[in-house]
Amino acid sequence: MTSRRFGVSLSLSLVIVTGCGASHAADDAGLVLDARANEPDAAPSADAPPVPDAPLDDASRPRVDLIVELRGFDAYEGDRATVHATDTSIGERHGPASATLVGGDADLVLPGAFPRDLFGELGQLWIDADGDGACLDGTDPSFGFFINNDFEEGPERVTVTAGDPMLTTSTCAESE
């Protein structure tokens, strides 16, 4: 018997023991509860076939384009912004995509970079403030942000706004 309520699972097995002869005492017969049987944490049988791990680059996962909309980065007008995203469930990294900030804004597209079966991904952004093409801590700002799955049709869009408290400071090593 299995009962599920409030996310808790309880499994019980009933074992009925009956007397099998005159040498057994009367209290040998009756109902015995064995809470150890059918435990979900029990180790699989040694002769059970192994379950293969899913490949890290499983092409059957539903994927959509990821569009990162940068807004309000006026202080970096004309600088190049670079973004990538990481699927934290398997460590797969998507991108990078780069664009020049015009009017403090840019839209960066990472084709097929967002698996729809995820809760979300982690995004990383860095801005090449000195124009040397490399991220340098202390010179080029670097940020981390969360990309939440909206579960809608079409591409996944995330808007990253300068000064947003959800935008965290990160290092170049995290952003490149």
Report the first-to-last Cα separation within the chain, whole angstroms: 53
More confident residue, 133 or 39: 133
**Does the pLDDT value for residue 148 go beyond 70?**
yes
Both tokens assigned to 48: 């059970």
Mean pLDDT of all residues belonging to the chain: 76
User: Hey, what domains does the chain have and what are their CATH numbers?
Assistant: 2-34 (no CATH), 63-175 (2.60.40)
- What are the start-end ranges of the H helices in the chain? 172-175
Q: Are 68 and 107 spatial neighbours (Cβ–Cβ below 8 Å)?
A: yes
Q: How far apart are CA 19 and CA 43, in angstroms?
A: 32
Q: How far apart are CA 176 and CA 143, in angstroms?
A: 11
In this structure, the chain runs to a length of: 176
Beta bridge partners of 124: 84, 144
Note the pLDDT tens digit of each residue in 73-115: 999 999 999 999 998 888 889 999 999 999 999 999 999 888 8
**What pLDDT does 60 receive?**
66
